[in-house]
A and B are shown apart, each in its own frame.
Chain A
Amino acid sequence: MAKAVFQVPELKQYPEIPEIDPGVMAHSAPFKSKEQFQQALGFPGELVDDWQGKAIDKMGDLLGRYRSLRVYLDSCVKCGSCTDKCHYYLGTKDPKNMPVGRQDLMRKVYRRYFTLAGKFFPKLVGAEDFTEEVLNDWYSYFHQCSQCRRCSVFCPYGIDTADISMAAREIMDHIGVGQKYCNEIIAKVYKVGNNLGLPGPALADTLEGLEEDVFDETGVEVKYPLDQEGADILLVTPSADFFAEPHVDGLIGYGKVFHEAGVSWTLSTHASEAANFGMFIGSYENMRRVAMRIREAAIKLKVKRIVFGECGHAWRVAYSFLNTLAGPWDFLDPRYPVPQHICEFTYGLIQESKLNLDKSRNDDMVLTYHDSCNVARASRMGEKPGGQFDIPRAIIRASVNHFYDMDEETIRDRTFCCGGGGGLLTDDLMEVRVKGAQPRLEALNNVIQEKGVTHMAAICAICKSQFTKVLPYYGMDMDQIVSVHQLVSNALILTGQNSDDDEDEAADEAA
């Protein structure tokens, strides 16, 4: 059981909207980025002289480049629809964690410098100078937003606090105030190729280990190729899949699925990371630079298709932005969407009955499914809107016998973020991560109590890492979070797999 120096929220049977408690999370702020990482991303190393003027200039620049920012800052009527929708507000009670409260941190500065009303009647419209105090609030509260877009679902104008947080972080980066976690990771991607800084030989070693494990388990030679030129498919997956639990069980699953499909595939050292933290810091330039690695890898390895592994924000960048950032993809096979999600791939095989799935192999678990925020509200799978909800569930249902959804209010496009997305998955933000997980875990706890659910499946590396870490704070086990392709992997009987292994197991158990 993890020890907390803060109060872990209670999980109730019925969700409650807390009364506001102003300023309770003002102390929460992540470590600042060091000079070397700032510079690797093209930002000043420390707080610049005349930071106020430069920040306002940058805001003006972004207002001219992003319609979303301009429209969102103008349009809010303070109706209150979003006020009880953010998991960080529900978990912390701090009103600056209400989406509108967070937006207003930027809106009051915008009004002061960019609107007539704010220039002449600042008090009347709540406009404020960009003071050091305001900057501190920005740094604190714009790093308590996981950019999950839940607020945008309920806003009558679709105002998306994620876009505003991204712009705020971009402005802060440009005056030398960057966040350590995100910026250090992006610098690592540029240097080594992935978030975790795993060099090529380490990857090759890990993959070889996986091949041996799968062979020992199934007697089938499933390959996990790296940098194999001429393969059909380039798999781009979050680097956590290479070693973290339960991520790696998902990677084992992808390999088995590719094996059964009879396609050739490869990973790439150069693009050994699906994540793109350039999005979290709102930097188009950095997001593009990170995305270009995938294009370069696809060209170098002469692949025909690109498939993404289980990762939430990576799928947003892949599905929604990759064509914009690193396209056009006219050199790939036009019969397939670029990119594809591994779930789309697996679902296709299930539809064609090409996978021999024995659901009873997952009978030790009762499953529920966590819709990852970026997949749910910022992407799609398959042909139809909402495929991002139905396809993963169809895969789970094809792989397990016992599945129950959580409360309707907390799934699909109303899903709660895990609490660790948007560049917050760092130990220096543990309090906000634990508190922000409360709404999701409350719904999980209810299906555990009512339906006997034992495990929650997810298709996002951040969700998996976050839950592994925060579940113990709520008295749950860290291994209650599983990968969707882990379930597929468990259920999948490979062609040529030792058919008697079930009997062996039964015999073992009897003995």
Chain B
Amino acid sequence: MSFLSSVYAYLFYFAAFVLVAGLINKVVQYARTPAPLKVPTTPAPTTTAGVAFRLTREVVFFESLFRGNKWIWIFGWIFHFGLFLVTLRHLRYFIDPVWAPIQFIQPFGVYGGMAMVVGLAGLWARRFLVDRVRYITSLSDHLILGLLIAIGLSGLTMRFFAHTDIVRVKDFFQGLYVGQINPLPADPLLLLHLLLVAGLMIIFPYSKLLHAPGLFFSPSRNQVDNPREKRHVAAWARRLEQD
């Protein structure tokens, strides 16, 4: 048992490191790469506040996707919003004492879990039913959907049918903060759930899940439409002017 707990402890140390270091690496890379031309998709906001509002609408409501395809939008939004609630609900394992808003969100987190699975199922169905989407789907797209659904289903099963000792689960994660390996309940579903989550954390910085930071760095969405008012020149382009 303690061997298994150790394996999971090191797995989560590793997964957390890969997730954080990988994402920081990517974000730094995006931030350092210049955007030499003004290319917002217009009509675009003419002020920074306007751009912040545009990005907020994209992040919260998936505005462009809404205009593009209502089916993808409804399934995609249900999945992401569900995942958001689930994540908030799970914060109770990682903070002590648990903040009041997180306590309040607990029941909604369960609905979030269901919504997440429904949304994912809809997105996955499209990959089989719509010929255009089938054409662009690669094996990794199926695997990521399978991974997320399996995380959702194993979690929901533990919530409703095969309960695990969540007090010990919390002890396990609290212990990781101070380098102490507390025993993890040896329930197969819990171990599967955690294994998949660690897997998700590890692939995040190396897969299409990079769309999350990517949106904030997308020049067609994050640039202010003011090229006539303000001269915009990248460092490498300025060097051309000195020739």
Contacts and interface: CB of A to CB of B under 8 A. Distances in A.
Interface of A: 17, 19-20, 22, 63-68, 70-72, 74-85, 95, 98, 100-101, 104, 115-117, 121, 123-126, 149, 152-160, 163, 284-285, 288, 319-324, 327-328, 337-339, 376-380, 384-386, 388-389, 413-414
18 contacts: A67-B34, A68-B220, A78-B137, A79-B65, A79-B72, A79-B123, A81-B65, A85-B68, A125-B140, A126-B140, A160-B41, A284-B237, A320-B39, A324-B36, A324-B227, A324-B237, A378-B42, A384-B46
B215 A156 contact: yes
Contacts of B33: 63-67, 70
B221 A157 contact: yes
Nearest to B135: A95
A413 B41 CA distance: 9
A261 B114 CA distance: 66
Contacts of B46: 384-385
Contact of B43 (A117, A156, A386): A386
B211 interface: yes
Nearest to B123: A79
A156 B62 contact: yes
B76 A79 contact: yes
B100 interface: no
Nearest to B71: A80
Interface stretch (B1-9, B103-111, B124-132, B189-197): B124-132
Interface range, B side: 35 or more
A78 B44 contact: no
B219 A71 contact: yes
A324 B233 contact: yes
A323 B233 CA distance: 9
Contact of B42 (A115, A116, A156, A413): A413
A99 to B, nearest CB: 10
Interface of B: 26, 29-30, 33-39, 41-46, 58, 62, 64-65, 67-69, 72, 76, 123, 126, 130-133, 135-141, 143, 203, 206-208, 210-211, 214-215, 217-221, 225, 227-234, 236-237, 240
A68 B219 contact: yes
A167 B138 CA distance: 24
Contact of B68 (A82, A117, A126, A338): A82
B144 to A, nearest CB: 9
Contacts of A319: 227-228
Contact of B36 (A65, A126, A153): A65
Contacts of B58: 156, 158
Contacts of B139: 123-126
A158 B218 contact: yes
Contacts of B138: 78, 124-126
Contacts of B133: 78, 80, 83
A154 B236 contact: no
B25 to A, nearest CB: 11
A78 B136 contact: yes
B208 A385 contact: no
Contact of A70 (B29, B67, B234): B29
Contact of A163 (B39, B62, B123): B39
Nearest to A163: B39
A386 B208 CA distance: 33
B18 to A, nearest CB: 11
A166 to B, nearest CB: 10
A71 B231 contact: no
A154 B227 contact: no
B232 A323 contact: yes
B35 A80 contact: no
Contact of A154 (B36, B69, B123, B211): B69
A385 B132 contact: no
Nearest to B132: A83
A77 B211 contact: yes
A380 B42 contact: yes
Given A67-B217, A157-B221, 13 more contacts: A65-B234, A71-B219, A78-B137, A79-B72, A80-B130, A98-B135, A117-B207, A126-B139, A158-B58, A158-B221, A160-B41, A327-B231, A413-B43
Contacts of A63: 33
B42 A20 contact: no
B98 to A, nearest CB: 33
A80 B36 CA distance: 29
Nearest to B43: A385
Contact of B132 (A84, A116, A380): A84
A78 B132 CA distance: 10
Contacts of A377: 41-42
